[in-house]
Structure 1
Amino acid sequence: MTVADMQERARQMTTLTERLTERLTAELAAFEARRPQDVAATVAETQEMANLYRRESARMKADRALLAEVPDRDRSALATATRAFEAILTRHARAVEAARTVSEGIVRAIAAEVAEVRHRSAGYGAGGRAEAVDGRAVTFNRMA
């Protein structure tokens, strides 16, 4: 691999890291504005970028020769972009976890209310006794 190839790879990785940081920053703003639905349209593209970032960073970490001859300014730019990405990634993960927790709480509350309403509205059987209600029609999946 030539020095020019190494330099180009470092620049591409820097660009990818900066774009991913921008994307996560926008998503974080949506979460902080209590509008997680605004993120839905871009989730697939963000996931694709994150997978590419993960693969490329693993490749660079496994083979240090890929960046061995990269000029200091390009190496420094990549390091700076990576630090910014890691900082926003930490905040983003906390926001996603908070949104997940809130969503699960809402689903649990709705499921409990539906189960309670169904239990109260039990019908009567042929012998005039209250029938037991089967609450299995409401499913609650603990996985988000």
Structure 2
Amino acid sequence: MALAADNAADRVEQLIILTERLTELIAVECQAFEGRRPQDAAANIEETGRLANLYRHESTRVRADPRLVQGAPPAQRQRLIQATKAFDAVLARHGRAIEAAKTVTEGLVRAIAEEVAGQRQQVSGYGPGATLSGQPASTATAITLNRRA
């Protein structure tokens, strides 16, 4: 998918709109993570993904051929630069929010695993006849982690 621009000014205007909308969506995600409500971040995930892909595609095109935007008025190009700076700032904030959520999640998983391990019965006695509190030994307990989360 690509922008359908008639000229450089039209392309720059569309890039500004795209960048501002993407900045808005990512800021909402940041608020969800910072508010400890990551489930709320999923509300716009489809649109964010689609716009992020379009942004990546268009920024690659402009980087490869700067003439696509050179004909736009300087004031309009300056607005695009400002929108891009705001986008970069919200991306940095998003990265920090994601890292914090990841750290909290890993800590919870670790705490749960330690609690499960602490709840296991201890061996009574020593030697071939040792048992687990009078019950037969149980099998190991597995914890599954989703690395994509």
TM range, smaller chain: 0.7 to 0.9
Q: Report what 1:137 is aligned to.
A: 142
- Hey, what does 1:32 align to over in structure 2? 34
Deviations 1:1-26 (A, max 9, x none): xx952211111111000001111111
Total equivalences in the alignment: 137
- In structure 1, C-alpha distance between the alignment counterparts of 2:31 and 2:131, rounded to whole Å: 56
The one-letter code sitting in structure 2 at the alignment partner of 1:47 is G
Give the deviation of 1:128 after TM superposition. Answer: 7.5
Does the aligned pair in 1 maintain the 2:131–2:137 contact within 8 Å? Answer: no
Question: Which structure features the higher share of helix residues?
Answer: 1
Quote the RMSD (CA, aligned, Å): 2.4
Which of 53, 72, 94 is matched with 1:51 structurally?
53
- 1:106 and 1:69, CA in 2 relative to 1: closer, same or farther beyond 3 A? same
Match among 68, 71, 95 for residue 69 of structure 1: 71
- 1:115–1:138 Cα contact (<8 Å) kept: no
Q: How many Å apart are 1:66 and its aligned residue?
A: 0.8
CA distance in 2, matches of 1:14, 1:43: 20
Q: Look up the match of 1:108.
A: 110
> In 2, Cα distance between the equivalents of 1:138 and 1:103?
14
8 Å Cα contact 1:104-1:142 kept in structure 2: no
Partner of 1:120: 121
Change (3 A) 1:110 1:57: same
Gaps of 5+ in 2: 124-128
Change (3 A) 1:32 1:39: same
State how far apart, in whole Å, the 2-side matches of 1:143 and 1:39 are.
15
**Corresponding residue to 2:88 among 70, 86, 89:** 86
- Identical-residue share of aligned pairs (%): 50
| CA distance in structure 2 between the aligned counterparts of 1:110 and 1:4, rounded to whole angstroms | 57
For structure 1, the residue ranges without an aligned partner over 5 or more in a row are none
- C-alpha spacing 1:128/1:68, structure 2 compared with 1 (3 Å): closer
- For residues 143 and 15 of structure 1, what CA distance do their matches in structure 2 show? 31
How far apart are 1:33 and its partner, in Å?
Answer: 1.7
- The aligned counterpart of 2:126 is none
